Amino acid sequence: MHILLTNDDGIFAPGIRAMHAQLTGSDDHPEPLGEVFTVAPMNVQSATSHGITYHSPLMTRTTQINGQDGIAVDGRPADCSKLALTNLWPER
C-alpha cells in the first residue's frame, strides 16, 4: 500500500514524525502498513484550509523524517498534496 502523509503543522512538527513512525513500523506496530511518502509544508500552515499558491514558485527541500527522506514544500497543505500527486511521487 502507498501512503501519502502530509499535515498543516509543518514537516518538523512532532505529530507528523509520530504518525510516520507508526506507519513505517514501531514498537507498537512492528510491521509497516505500507510505503510512506511524506510531503508537508516547510512552516506551520494551520487554518489555511484549501488555499493554494498562485503567484510564486513552490520551492522544495529534501529532509529526514525518522531516517527516511521527506519533502518540505514552501507552500500550503493543498500545495503539498497536489505537488506530490502530480510531480513528486514516482509511484503515484
Query: pLDDT tens digit string along 21-51?
Result: 999 987 777 888 889 999 999 999 998 878 9
Position 18 confidence tier, pLDDT thresholds 50, 70, 90: very high
Nearest to 41 by CA among 82, 86, 2: 82
pLDDT at 92 over 70: no
Going from N- to C-terminal start, the domains of the chain cover 2-49+57-88
pTM for the whole structure: 0.87
- DSSP type of residue 46: T
The pLDDT confidence band at residue 71, using thresholds 50, 70 and 90, is very high
Residue 89: exposure state from Cβ atoms within 10 A (0-12, 13-18, ≥19): middle
Cα(83)–Cα(11) distance, rounded to whole angstroms?
15
